[in-house]
Amino acid sequence: MSKRFLVPEVVQTSGMDCGPAALSCLLAGFGINASYGRLREACQTDVDGTSINTLEDTARLLGLDVVQLMVPPTRVVRHLPAIVVVRLPSGMLHFVVVWRQHGQFLQIMDPAVGRRWVRADRFVDEIYVHTHRMPDGAKVEGAVLVRVNGVGTVDWDALPADLRAALTEPPPRPLAEMVRPVPWGVLGVGAVAAAIGVTVEAVLFREAINGSFGPVLGVAVGLLVLETLLALGGTRLGRGLDLGLRRTLLGRLPLLPDRYLHSRPTSDLAERAHRLHQLRDLPALGVEVVRTLTEIVAVVVAIALIDFDAALPAAIAAVTAVGASLVVHPVIAERDLRQRSHSGALARFFLDGMLGLTALRAHTAEAVVTAEHDRRLRDWAASGRALARAVVSAEALQRICGVGAAAWLVWQARDHEPATFLLLAFWAVSLPTLAARVGRLTRQWPWHRNVAHRLVEPLAAPQEDQPIVAKSVDGGVAIAFRNVSVVAGGHTVLDGVDLSVMAGERIAIVGASGSGKSTLIGLLLGWHVPAGGVAEIDGAPLDPVLLRQSTAWVDPAVSLWNSSLADNLGYGNADPDIARAVDEAELNGIRANQLGDAGGLLSGGEGQRVRLGRALLRSNVRLALLDEPFRGLDPAQRDRMLERLDSWWHGATVLMVTHDAREALGFPRVLVMERGRIVEDGDPAASTRLPELLDEQAGSRALLAGWRNVEVGA
């Protein structure tokens, strides 16, 4: 199977998804269609990105003959096509697909923007140079890449289920449910009619010069009405796109897996939400493109009808002007990409600086930060000057070509009577202007396309099954894990867990930070999917969507809203008994009408008690998952809450994660976890690990208490 001449474009939809996007592009270039969304899930992309080893292994499983190499940067062009690691202006690593070499230029698919053309010598400066230390201590440096030798075979029997889904899933069409072709078609016809009308209006102006004003006034009024309708139609269509996407997203968000949202940086999701309104500009941009191209064609046809001898110079003027815009577009787009990258790196630097302001002051790192800022500012300014030079040079080239062709056209029309000569001269001068508009719109398109791709990507993401109404069942759930493992970000966080929980049991889970306690809870909530083993609830395969309908969940990550206490307690609960929750969770002291963003007007302990109160109002609870439910509470409050725990959620199965081993002593059963494994399971009185944890925590508390008596001298 031969590779395509032009590399397919796959634009990444998240700041950290360049790996799956590059892999999807490479597969499509050899005729292997694979779902980008499914590849992202299969590559186990986390906020740290995807490793090049994962890309190599996945590409081989999906039918490409690939090999990972490290070569001198200047020899990368000898190993195409390949996925190459480059370094962005922000310092982050990035994957691009280098597809072909065309003379001095390389055809590259950059997942950040799409296809681009770069001089080979300039691309060498972007390549990331990796240093590898040999066993004998010697160092080897070179570019890291995954080269494709050709198409291999796919072993369907050995193919994991997620990769099989990537090959068999039909391509998503997320905009199909929002975009109706009829309004777009009407808008396009209106744009064509407006462009032709402008040309006709110019012809009628020639008659107006000779004293006939009626027709031109009629066409002018008609164009005014048509322009108004086009503006209103474009605005209405853009508003419909914006609102339609918002409504569709609100209906789809509850069905997205938790790991989908957790694996994307918060800044990336916030940026998408901020840019939702920019969908409104797409209809206007489309109308402008159709109208400009139609007007160029209409002008050339009109010139040919008035003076056939001028048809050739008119056609050459149009082709030359538009061609000049398209020829210089890759150069300008390349510099524009660099400018945007440096601008983004500078903005991210300021954001990181504000988020780390306390640490910056504490370490007196002002000089270091200022020096780094100055370096990035110099890079941004240099890229801006390069972009300005490219734009000015391109416009000068375009004007020279356009003016030369226009002069030829005017010279050809010199023998016409004055009105016709003026009309032909007007059209000759307008062709370069129209072509410049085409160039401007062409430069805008990649950015608008990238924004649109990122906005609609959640609609095409794999989603959980539609939730079904859980049957009302008395008693708790029975949990059975057999050799269950969980992998996140390429790391094993649960390893061979065996666990059997009877319905109605109450179990404490303890262990050091990072031992896998919260991951065990997250598995039941659907945050993670078992990479191996069997997970069952009541003898059936674990269905987190169904299980959540009868689960009470308390965790510091549970969101609090900037609303009243009653609204926060009743959130998601039908007919809540607010007074009962206030008494049980000891919330009588909170009188604020608004709790602040994320509960910012509350202390840590107050916020946790609000979360507890909300969970206490859940109905039909068969499973209570409590992750540090008493965090931030003073010892007396904590003891009172522990005494009441047995009276909450009668008959339900209760799993409580805690860092305080003392809290586990009151439970009939305790799980002790270390490094993703359950190392002890049973009665706390018979535990050998629990006393060790208690001693460690007692020693830490004694050390902290002793600090109060330490005197620090000069």
Least confident of 180-184, 392-396, 613-617: 180-184
Mean pLDDT of 338-349: 71
**Residue 169 pLDDT > 80, yes or no?**
no
Average pLDDT of span 401-427: 78
pLDDT at residue 131 in the model: 87
Long-range contact pairs involving 171-175 (C-beta distance under 8 Å, separation at least 24): 171/33, 171/35, 172/35, 172/37, 172/459, 172/460, 173/460, 174/456, 174/457, 174/459, 174/460, 175/456
Q: Compute the distance between CA of residue 467 and CA of residue 549 in angstroms, rounded to an integer.
A: 9
Q: Name which residue leads in pLDDT, 564 or 42.
A: 564
Paired with 96 in beta bridges are 84
41-50, 93-102, 282-291, range with greatest mean pLDDT: 93-102
Pick from 56-70, 224-238, 246-260, 631-645: least confident: 246-260
The pLDDT value given to residue 697? 65
Higher pLDDT, 484 or 324: 484
According to the model, what pLDDT value does residue 712 have?
39
Please tell me the distance from the alpha carbon of residue 99 to that of residue 107, in angstroms, as a whole number. 6
Res. 177: pLDDT tops 70: no
pLDDT > 90: what percent of the chain?
A: 13
Q: What is the pLDDT of residue 115?
A: 80
User: According to the model, what pLDDT value does residue 388 have?
Assistant: 86
Check residue 482 and give its pLDDT: 93
Looking at per-residue pLDDT, the higher value among 215 and 28 belongs to: 28
For residue 11, pLDDT beyond 60: yes
The pLDDT score that the predictor gives to residue 286 is 85
pLDDT on residue 622? 92
Asked if 606 contacts 555 with a C-beta cutoff of 8 angstroms, the reply is no
Confidence of residue 711 (pLDDT cuts 50, 70, 90): very low
> 702 pLDDT exceeds 60?
no
- Residue 675's pLDDT is 87
Average pLDDT on 176-201 reads 79
pLDDT at 708 over 50: no
**pLDDT at residue 454, rounded to an integer:** 73
Identify the H or E element spanning 298. helix 281-306
Residue 366: both structure tokens together: 């002002």
Separation between Cα atoms, residue 301 and residue 398, nearest integer Å = 22
pTM above threshold 0.85: no
Return the H-helix or E-strand segment holding 626: strand 623-627
Over residues 271-288, the mean pLDDT reads 82
pLDDT at residue 146, rounded to an integer: 93
pLDDT confidence of 703, banded at 50, 70, 90?
very low
DSSP letter for 542, please: -
- What does the pLDDT average to over 252-263? 72
At residue 81, does pLDDT exceed 90? yes
Pairwise CA distance, residues 625 & 656, whole Å:
6
Return the minimum-mean-pLDDT range out of 6-15, 333-342, 464-473. Answer: 464-473
- Phi, psi (degrees; rounded to nearest 5) at 99: -95, -55
Per-residue confidence band for 355, with pLDDT thresholds at 50, 70 and 90: low
Q: For 674-690, what is each residue's pLDDT tens digit?
A: 888 999 888 888 888 88
| pLDDT exceeds 60 at position 162 | yes
- What would the two tokens of residue 531 be? 């990479």
Residue 58 has pLDDT above 80, yes or no: yes
Q: Lowest mean pLDDT of 83-97, 351-365, 692-706, name the range.
A: 692-706
Q: Give pLDDT tens digits for 98-138.
A: 999 998 999 999 887 778 888 898 899 899 998 887 777 77
Going by pLDDT thresholds of 50, 70 and 90, the confidence category of residue 327 is confident
What phi and psi, each to the nearest 5 degrees, are found at residue 387? -65, -45
Instruction: Give the pLDDT score at 580.
Output: 86
Confidence tier at 714 by pLDDT (50, 70, 90): very low
The string of pLDDT tens digits covering residues 605-621 is: 888 889 999 999 888 89
**pLDDT > 60? residue 467:** no
Name which of 259-263, 480-484, 653-657 the model is least confident about.
Answer: 259-263
Identify the pLDDT of residue 598. 76
The whole-number average pLDDT for the span 417-429 is 80
pLDDT at site 623: 94
What are the helix (H) ranges across 365-514? Answer: 366-412, 418-460
Q: Given this model, what pLDDT does residue 96 score?
A: 92
Measured on CA atoms in the order 373, 374, 380, 383, is the torsion positive or negative? negative
Least confident of 202-216, 312-326, 407-421, 426-440: 202-216
Q: What is the per-residue pLDDT for 466?
A: 57
Highest mean predicted confidence (pLDDT) among 14-28, 69-83, 373-387: 69-83
Whether the Cβ atoms of residue 295 and residue 199 lie closer than 8 Å to each other = yes
User: What mean pLDDT value characterizes the chain?
Assistant: 81
Q: What is the mean pLDDT of residues 637-659?
A: 88
DSSP H or E run through 83: strand 82-87
Degrees, nearest 5: CA angle 205-211-212:
65
- Please tell me which residue, 652 or 266, carries the higher pLDDT value: 652
| Least confident span in 219-223, 253-257, 427-431, 696-700 | 696-700
Integer-rounded Cα Rg, in Å, for the chain is 33
What are the tens digits of pLDDT across the range 431-455? 878 877 887 787 777 677 767 777 7
How many whole angstroms separate alpha carbon 699 and alpha carbon 597?
37
Per-residue pLDDT at 209: 64
- pLDDT attached to residue 522: 87
- The pLDDT of residue 480: 94
